[in-house]
Amino acid sequence: MGKDILTMGNIYYYNTDIGRLGIVEKDGDITNLFFEIDCYIEEYIIKETDILREANNQLKEYLQGTRKEFSLPLAPSGTEFRKNVWTCVCSISYGETKSYKEVAETIGNPKACRAVGSANNKNPIPIFIPCHRVIGSSGKLVGYRGGLKVKAHLLELEKAIKEK
């Protein structure tokens, strides 16, 4: 039996300064963002919807340095722990960073640094949930699903705009 077409999400691809991105929405909520290098198994309907168009517009503004916050309905799928991490990550201010340890401490689980890293790695909506703002305790850029080059680009963009 095939997938129920009503439960499938819509995906649309956009060319950006950081490569081709696929943004997914289901029932009016943004559920995923895929980088060009991502492999994914789920089936989606390729269709641009109003919310996908709006997500792309906000993403474009962010990448141009004219938007610091997103105002989109996000619906990431994950465990309660991961959702707690992602909520914490969303509270990191534009142009700021926190270490994995600081995030772990903020969510009340100071020994969960690696689990925080794993949650960031499983973040289904990077950029909109700004896990690029989480770095190693030494200040090093550690891991990013879109690649360290993209992570560095996003952090440099935010730093440059914040300093203006």
Just list the catalytic residues. Answer: 131
Q: Cα(67)–Cα(62) distance, rounded to whole angstroms?
A: 4
Token pair 């938007």: residue: 67
Residue ranges with strand state E in the chain: 10-16, 19-26, 29-34, 45-46, 98-99, 134-135
CA triple 123-126-129, angle to 5 deg: 85
Q: Cα(27)–Cα(59) distance, rounded to whole angstroms?
A: 20
CA 24, 16, 64, 118 torsion: positive or negative?
A: positive
